[in-house]
Amino acid sequence: TQLLEQSPQFLSIQEGENLTVYCNSSSVFSSLQWYRQEPGEGPVLLVTVVTGGEVKKLKRLTFQFGDARKDSSLHITAAQPGDTGLYLCAGAETSGSRLTFGEGTQLTVNP
């Protein structure tokens, strides 16, 4: 069974600061996704990465997939209170297998 470890588990920062969240595993993934979940709602997909070394940008969010496809990072520049939420990474070992989710990183951005 794949295990996805996210760090840090909790992060509280001030508006305008930068931050990075990590998602690591000993397994190789065919694809990896990042979701954000706000209180009382289901997770919402932010991005999917499929190629080792791939970098995707979504406004102030930058996602990177490791060269070996075992890890990923999410970097947020100039965080805003609206970025507050639970960030979850999820990976699929093969194209036909189900997703495994990490435990999540709870981010709080204070005004």
Partner 1 sequence: GAGVSQSPSNKVTEKGKDVELRCDPISGHTALYWYRQRLGQGLEFLIYFQGNSAPDKSGLPSDRFSAERTGESVSTLTIQRTQQEDSAVYLCASSLVQGVHEQYFGPGTRLTVT
- Judged by beta carbon, residue 18 or residue 97, the one nearer partner 1 is 97
Where are the extended beta strands (E) located within 1-111? Answer: 5-7, 10-14, 19-24, 31-37, 44-49, 55-58, 61-65, 71-76, 85-92, 99-101, 105-110
Please report whether residue 102 would count as binding partner 1 according to CB under 8 A. yes
Least separation in angstroms between residue 21's CB and partner 1 is 13
Please report whether residue 101 would count as binding partner 1 according to CB under 8 A. yes
Structure-block tokens of residue 40: 């009382």
- Judged by beta carbon, residue 40 or residue 111, the one nearer partner 1 is 40
Q: Segment contacting partner 1 (CB under 8 A): 12-20, 29-37, 56-64, 67-75?
A: 29-37
Of residues 69-88, those binding partner 1 (CB under 8 A): 88
CB contact at 8 A, 73 and 63: yes
* Residue numbers at the binding site for partner 1 (CB under 8 A): 6, 31, 33, 35, 40-45, 48, 50, 88, 90, 92, 95-96, 98-104, 106
